[in-house]
Structure 1
Amino acid sequence: MDPHLLRTFTAVARLGSFSAAARELGYTQSAVSQHIAALEADLGVELLGRRPVAPTEAGARLLDHTGPLLARLAAARADVARVARTPGSRLAVGATALAFGAAAARALAEVRAELPRAEPSVLLSDAAGVVGGVAAGDVDLGLVSGAVAPTDPLHLPEAEGLVREAVGEEPLAVLLPPGHPLAGRSGLDLSDLGDALWLDAPAAAVPLAELRAAVPGACPAALQYTGADTRVVHELVHAAHGLAVLPRSAAGPAAAPLTAPRLVHHVEAVLRPGPHKEIALLLAALRRGAAR
């Protein structure tokens, strides 16, 4: 199966439209139709119904395989490109904003001290962008995080075929404005905050969707912040625009620990399989930081 045809098929199935897939991929609609016809001829089965455009049973089964197949092809391309690079020259780290905290910064400094020729870079993105960057080889190591029950892994279906490793876990805390009646408590339950309004800041604080998954109906949003700077979250909370939940290390000593529901800030490293000295050193430094 030609990977170009698989990419076209995946786009059409995801978008439900030949024309929309053509616009996204930069092809003509005729070329997209030819790609699908060629793939169906190769496999000897209809993959997409035409009215409406939707996967057939065989097409749905193929979709289960296309993600891992294309991820492995991207990983192979990235590994070949890595061999051609000067050893120790690049260390591209992709991260969600909350995943790249003080521990990750210290770990990267340790690697730079051991590999002075390294050229590290850090790119902040959302979880899908980080994982996609790792799969495509644009990122050497990804760091993603989320609020989950202790020891639970993150839900990252797009990471199939990649290596995942937990590298950090810490408690969560609730940011409250000065003078809030619950300020100073030794612990807070989200049910204690049923009437409170919250900041909708999915890139810079624990996403409200993750809190609502643990407590359905909780955390109504008062203000949306689309940036990734936790300092802005602190300022917005301080000005009483809404509450927010952050990892303890980012929340500061004045924040109240979140004691219920029982959630932690869990950080995972995502990388392609294979021996890579720079990544191995960074992972080891991250593990040491998590053990402190």
Structure 2
Amino acid sequence: MDPHLLRTFVTVVRTGSFSAAAAELGYTQAAVSQQIASLENDLKATLLHRRPVGTTEAGARLLEHAGPILLRLQAARSEIVRMSGAPRARLRIGASPLASAHVAAPLARARAAHPRVEASVQVMARAGIDAAVAAGDLDIGLVDGIAAPSDPLRLADTVPLAAVAVAERPLALVLPSAHPLASRPGADLDDLVDALWLDVPDVAVPLPALRQATGSRDGFRASLTCEGGDLPFLLALIAAGHGLAVLPVGAADGAGLAEVPVRTPRIVHRTELLHSRATDPATAAFVAALS
């Protein structure tokens, strides 16, 4: 299967039209149509409905495979280029909001060791950091999530990266100090599936992760959903009574909120550093400083 044809197929699906895909890829619309026809001929299956554009059953199945395949190819290219090329004078770091607290000190040491390195930091959503590092769009990723004690975070199987444990902290239910649960010595999340929850997936523990950890199918429904945001904004929403959230212990210090330690399930908040297995000197200096 030609990866160029596969990339064209993914672009057509994502943009929703042959013309938009052609504009993005720098082809003519006729060329895009021909590439899709060639892919369909190779697979002996119709992949797209033309008017309106949408995937057939076979196309939907191919789309499930396409992302990991293309990412793995891009990751391979990025890693080989790193191994064979000259050291680059840049250091690009991506970090989820809670993981960004671990950037400043090691970045200072890496820049001191390599003063000519052009550094940049992007605070971004958890989802996609691993793929961006694998594809070479980031040199370092700092990502957080929940896991069983001492277990690594779950990354996509198709992403070949080196992962370094940075921190592991207990979790707490964060709620207003006047909340009826604030005086409890511990929180059992299985008993709180029907509480009012804040869905701020880039900062708090995502609600799907709580469902998976507790085995609840329909619990942990959002009373308020927020895309993006940061920790102070989330704490303000909790203080105003919009809902509860699970955060690492100490995250709400100084905010006038209560933290009730999570007793069950046995999960922790974990932060990991991600980087390509082939590193340049500036990346290696950052990793060594943080490790």
- The normalised TM-score by structure 1 is 0.79
Distance (whole Å) between structure 2 residues aligned to residue 62 and residue 178 of structure 1: 48
- Return the letter of the residue paired with 1:258: V
The Cα shift of 1:177 comes to 0.2
Distance (whole Å) between structure 2 residues aligned to residue 14 and residue 280 of structure 1: 36
Distance (whole Å) between structure 2 residues aligned to residue 104 and residue 150 of structure 1: 23
The Cα shift of 1:76 comes to 4.1
**SS where residue 8 of structure 2 aligns?**
helix
Alignment of 1:72-87 (within 5 A): 72-76=76-80, 83=86, 85=88
Distance (whole Å) between structure 1 residues aligned to residue 3 and residue 75 of structure 2: 11
Distance (whole Å) between structure 2 residues aligned to residue 179 and residue 8 of structure 1: 55
Of 62-71 and 115-124, the range deviating more from structure 2: 62-71
Alignment of 1:124-203 (within 5 A): 124-157=123-156, 160-203=159-202
**SS where residue 272 of structure 2 aligns?**
strand
Assess, with a 3 A threshold, how the Cα gap between structure 1 residues 57 and 205 changes in structure 2: closer, same or farther.
closer
Q: Which has the higher helix share?
A: 1
Answer yes or no: is 1:35 the counterpart of 2:35.
yes
The Cα shift of 1:268 comes to 2.3
Of 20-29 and 106-115, the range deviating more from structure 2: 20-29
Aligned counterpart, 1:222 = 223
**SS where residue 246 of structure 1 aligns?**
strand
- The normalised TM-score by structure 2 is 0.79
Conservation of the 8 A alpha-carbon contact between 1:173 and 1:248 = yes
The Cα shift of 1:197 comes to 0.8
**SS where residue 227 of structure 1 aligns?**
coil
Distance (whole Å) between structure 2 residues aligned to residue 116 and residue 170 of structure 1: 33
The Cα shift of 1:234 comes to 1.2
* Structure 1 unaligned residues grouped into runs of 5+: 288-292
Conservation of the 8 A alpha-carbon contact between 2:252 and 2:259 = yes
Aligned counterpart, 2:261 = 257
Aligned counterpart, 1:290 = none
Distance (whole Å) between structure 2 residues aligned to residue 120 and residue 54 of structure 1: 45
Distance (whole Å) between structure 2 residues aligned to residue 155 and residue 46 of structure 1: 36
The Cα shift of 1:229 comes to 1.1
Identity rate, percent:
46
Q: Deviations over 1:259-286 (max 9, x none)?
A: 2111111222222221322212222222
- Return the letter of the residue paired with 1:9: F
Assess, with a 3 A threshold, how the Cα gap between structure 1 residues 61 and 35 changes in structure 2: closer, same or farther.
same
* Equivalenced residues, count: 280
Distance (whole Å) between structure 2 residues aligned to residue 231 and residue 34 of structure 1: 51
